[in-house]
Amino acid sequence: MTACRVCGAHIAKASYEASAPALTSMMAFIDIPTLAYVCDGCGHAQCADLPDIETFYDTTYRISLESDDHDQIFAVTADGTPIYRTDHQAAIGLRLLDLPQGAAILDYGAGKATTLRKMCAARPDLHPHVFDVSRDYVPAWDGWVAGEDQATYTVPEAWAGRFDAIISHFVIEHVAEPVGFLKTLRALLAPGGRVLLSMPDVAANPGDMTVADHLNHFSRASLNRALQLSGFALETIDSDAFPGAFFAVALRSEEPVAMAIDGDRQEIAAAAAKAREICDFWKQATRRLDGAAKQFSGKRAAVYGSGFYGSWICSRIEADVDFRVFLDQNPQLQGSTHFNRPVLAPANLDQDVDVVFVGLNPLKARAAIAGQAALHRPGLDLVWIDG
């Protein structure tokens, strides 16, 4: 048995299991099996612990350190213009938090803190602070965050109760004790302060279920339970502003937060059922892709997408097919290499490639590929992980 990271209920067995290696969100393989568990008590899903998690985030986990302007595309407009993650996050944060003039704001788990920097560019009155569990990002903070408003490894005691708002983007899915994490954030907020959390929505992006360093896969039900247990009152969950993610705003509560457990039971049951459905999808996708690798054995192949799905496909097919290139719409990735293979724009696909394995979110893959003329030439096979 294992215990739920949110409510502590016992979980008898894993709902999904795959042998080592497991794939991380940084597209690196680690020598552990992939295990996903689903809790019937609160609707939470979770992966197994990482070995030596503190060292992993201090010295191994590196997000957007490649260059000063490196960013991640979260969407592409109809005319092909990329929309970058941090621009969109900054706009969402300013809208959802409605910050007072001169607000003290903390980016907790900041990384390079690009989102906060863009918020402050739009609102120069804000007083920025940053915290991370690694010193690697300090050079990115210097020059726009005062030295006394930066912290690494340990949050200063003087910061208790200081902040009008805390933002924490795509951090809580990584932490082994999410309730304890949220209690830490509550203690840093002033009375009436709010926290803005973003995290993957596994129902909208099923690939998240198998990301080894995403220890938590929140549902609306389990996120609400975690916030209640931590002394927060949930105000907003926005699952539309950022496809594939939740953005949640919660208020520091000064009174015990009542948990309407009976009223939540139907939502919890639905969340648990959805999580198991996703686990079943991955079991089937693994079998389907292994079969396709054998079917196209020796054929010249490309993988569309150099993110998580494409990296996972690479690990399943490279022993069988003549896998030559990755294709990606992100101009900052084009011209780079990924797993020792070049990353090209889709329009530059060589004519001698026989098959393209589509490594995109299966809920969006067909719509994305429909606009790529180079992938619809006669004789080119497309392989989808959802059949």
CB-CB contact of 5 with 46 (8 Å) = yes
Higher-confidence residue of 85 and 270: namely 270
**Chain segment 51-86, per-residue pLDDT in tens:** 865 555 555 554 544 444 446 666 666 777 777 789
Candidates 323, 315, 328, 320; CA nearest to 292 is 320
In this structure, which amino acid lies at residue 262? Answer: D
**Chain segment 312-352, per-residue pLDDT in tens:** 999 889 999 999 999 998 888 999 999 999 999 999 999 99
What global pTM score does this model have? 0.88
Alpha helix segments (H runs only) across 230-337 = 261-295, 308-317
Q: Please say if the pLDDT value at position 128 is more than 70.
A: yes
What is 1-295's CATH number?
Answer: 3.40.50.150
Rounded average pLDDT over 35-60: 81
3-state class (DSSP) for residue 107:
strand
By residue count, the chain amounts to: 387
Same fold, 1-295 and 298-384: yes
Q: Domain residues of the chain, as ranges?
A: 1-295, 298-384
DSSP one-letter code for 253? P
H or E segment and range at residue 96: helix 85-97
What CATH superfamily is the domain 298-384?
A: NAD(P)-binding Rossmann-like Domain (3.40.50.720)
Q: Please say if the pLDDT value at position 256 is more than 90.
A: no
Rounded average pLDDT over 82-111: 94
pLDDT value for 69: 46
